Amino acid sequence: MKPQDLTDLALRNLREAILRNALTTLGIAVGVASLVAMLSLGVGLQQLASKRLSQSGLFDTIFVTPKNNFRGMGRPQREVDSDKPVRVLDNDARHELEKLPNVIEVYPQVRFFTEVRFNNKPYATVVAGLPDSSRNSGAFDGMQGNFFSSSTANEAILQIEFAKDLSDKPSSLVGQELTLRYAERQAIPTVGSDPSSSAAEPGGFSVVPKELRLKIVGIVETEPAAGYGGYGNARLLMPLETASTLRAAQVNDLRDIVRGSTSNKTTYPSLSVRAKSPSQVEALEASIKNLGFNAFSLLDASKSLRTFFSVFDLLLGIFGSLALAVATLGIVNTLVMAILERRREIGVLKALGAADSDVQQLFFVEAGVMGFLGGIFGVGFGWLLGRAITFGTNVYLKRQNLNPIELSSVPWWLVITALVFAVLVSLAAGLYPASRAAKLNPVDALRYE
Amino acid sequence: MPDTKPAVQLDHISRHYKMGETSVRAVDDVSLSVAHGEYLALLGSSGSGKSTLLNLMAGLDRPTSGAILANGVNLAALSPLDLARYRRNTVGMIFQSFNLLPRMTLEENVELPLRLAEVERSERAGRVREALERVRLTHRVGHRPAELSGGEQQRVAIARALVNRPKILLADEPTGNLDSATGETILSLLRDLQAQLGMTIVMVTHERPLAERYADRLATMGDGKLLGTSPARTGAAQ
């Protein structure tokens, strides 16, 4: 039979038992809908996580430390090539890193433990400098107030928990001022050197208490992502350049003095190198290691995240497919019933010259049409279900004073895949009924009343 | 007039069925030859094997042993696909219970064999009209079978059997569900088709008087065996 006639007859047959076939199709639609809803949640969550992570800058950032860095209490010292001189992270190294290809910026970690005064009460906290590029980090998307007006402004962004410590109404803090008290390093002048030089502290340094007034410009709801050596633990954030000019005493200062660092220049405990895109991180990491530094990036973590989501999607897919599997039993049932009902008709078709393959194809097309229609409705239902879950979640998030999120996502590939899958599964379900119908003995079928 | 070369030739045909442990010989060693353009009536009581024999000639069933030659081709040796093609193009079949598809209109029922034979759509309407004209049923073509009388339904079934222009028409108790007057009209119609188109007709019936009036020859069966053939009083009904 020609495809057009085959489809025509199949549609005619489907219309004939409209209720039963509609219910079967609905079953497939529910199956496909559950599959699409599950996968759309998986895809949505993955996109959400990827977006957050790429915004956080963790995946395009490489953390550089000197090779002789202490590894920690009680842990053995990292083995260092004794041939090569140990390289320190000083300004020369910083410039060298900046000149590497695909580097956007290189910035030091400035973080120190100090005291903040607000309303004449002291609060102890960790202060960290934020590079200006953090402006685009997802962590500041839903903040109260604004990001720093400039990279040298005397401004501060508080973390919400710290803001709650300072005031019962954290939001009222924006616009107010606080006082930062910190320990400034001042070089002990030696004969013949310029005491104003910040870089040279050959004879050690003295620590002088200083104060700086900072205007509170914003409050971050969520803690900015704490990477390796990140600023996650800091509760008061200020522009990096402002923080650098303070020359506040940092944790490693004492260590460097004790070690009697051979260099008489400023050294950094670590530097963060930002690549143009995460895809360049791996190559950049290798060239930094070639320069003689330790380099670490979260790219590996990103890889394992992708693996996690693949497994997650697979599990969601399996759960979603269960409903579809039940629906395929519905197809088998409906078509087997149809064979019983249309036994005589199959006999007539064969008597009129229909080949076994004609009868088989007829049932096949019927199964395929039910699968296709079920697939279309299912994708629609699934999309609606995803929207409903997103809506419900966002209502909940709003009540918790959190920002709305896009929980489900139905990309085109999911629509196409779901349709193809629905048709294939339906055709597979039609295999047995179709072959049974094709094998029907016409003499028996015609005798059947 | 009948051709000397047979349209259908049955050569020691047997058809046995297994029913549990026992074997039923529905058709037992039957040899019979039907000439081109001949109108043969197969007579016999129910269970005599006449319908089984007709199904074998129609290519709906295969013999346990023996050969069936239709236009020189041995049906027993044909593949299932070729046998389907034979049913589609060489033979037309009508049944006691008409076997029209109730959901289709008359037109669509008659068109069905054309769909199976993959006849071009443009050609179909003409062929359907031609077949319906042959059975003198050009009105009510848009109706469904249930809206027609038994005689009209059988005429539609005949049109359906003719639409692919087969050489052989096989009829299984075509008057069984009709009153005697209507039955006679149908048999007379078959007789006309035989005369006009030179068709070979094999008709299974248990109504001997009717068969004697319309058929050229009678073949009587009993217990699966062919008991004998005899010429009918041809022309009696004309």
Q: How far is B62 from chain A (nearest CA, A)?
A: 11
> What is the C-alpha to C-alpha distance for residues A372 and A370, in angstroms, rounded to an integer?
6
Helix (H, G, I), strand (E, B) or coil at A248: strand
Bridging pattern class, strands A236-239 and A293-297: unpaired
Cite the beta strand spans of B20-167 per DSSP E: 22-35, 39-43, 65-70, 73-74, 91-94
Distance from chain centroid for Cα A56? 10
> What is the C-alpha to C-alpha distance for residues A252 and A29, in angstroms, rounded to an integer?
63
- Residue entry with tokens 């529905």: B26
> What is the C-alpha to C-alpha distance for residues B52 and B34, in angstroms, rounded to an integer?
16
Domain ranges of chain B: 103-148+155-163
CB count in 10 Å sphere of residue A170: 20
Looking at this predicted complex, what is its ipTM? 0.92
Q: How far is B55 from chain A (nearest CA, A)?
A: 7
- Classify burial at A117, counting beta carbons within 10 Å of its beta carbon; exposed 0-12, middle 13-18, buried 19 or more: middle
Task: Determine the residue type at A140.
Answer: F
Helix (H, G, I), strand (E, B) or coil at B29: strand
Bridging pattern class, strands A121-130 and A236-239: parallel
Question: With an 8 Å Cβ cutoff, are B85 and A353 in contact?
Answer: yes
CA separation, residue B60 to residues A275, A435, B39, B224 (Å): 77, 18, 21, 18
Q: Each residue's pLDDT tens digit in chain A (449 positions)? A: 889 999 999 998 888 888 988 998 998 899 889 888 888 888 888 888 777 766 666 677 888 888 764 444 444 555 544 455 677 788 888 888 888 888 888 888 777 888 888 888 898 888 888 887 777 666 676 778 888 888 888 899 888 888 888 888 888 888 888 998 888 877 776 555 444 444 445 556 778 888 888 999 988 876 554 444 444 567 888 888 888 888 777 766 666 666 655 445 667 777 888 887 777 888 888 888 888 888 888 766 667 777 888 888 888 888 878 878 888 888 888 888 888 888 888 999 999 999 999 999 999 999 999 999 999 999 999 999 888 988 999 999 888 888 788 888 888 988 998 899 889 988 988 889 999 999 999 988 888 66
Nearest CA in chain A to B53: A443
Interval B117-174: pLDDT, tens: 999 999 999 999 999 998 988 888 899 999 999 999 999 999 999 999 999 999 999 9
Taking the model in full, what pTM does it have? 0.68
Q: How far is B61 from chain A (nearest CA, A)?
A: 7
Domain ranges of chain A: 3-54+305-447, 59-297
Query: Do B1 and B200 meet the contact criterion of CB atoms below 8 Å apart?
Result: no
Q: What share of chain A is helix, strand, coil (3-state, %, to 5)?
A: 55, 20, 30
Question: With an 8 Å Cβ cutoff, are A353 and B60 in contact?
Answer: no
Contacts of B81 in chain A (CB under 8 A): 355-357
Mutation test of the interface with chain B: which of A2, A352, A362, A435, choosing the one with the most B Cβ atoms within 10 A? A352
Task: Find all residues with CB under 8 Å of B70, minimum gap 6, and list them.
Answer: B7, B8, B9, B57, B59, B86, B90, B91, B168
Interval B71-110: pLDDT, tens: 888 998 999 999 999 999 999 999 999 999 998 999 999 9
- Phi/psi for A126 (5° steps) reads -100, 135
> What is the C-alpha to C-alpha distance for residues A333 and A430, in angstroms, rounded to an integer?
10
> What is the C-alpha to C-alpha distance for residues B115 and B101, in angstroms, rounded to an integer?
14
Nearest CA in chain B to A13: B103
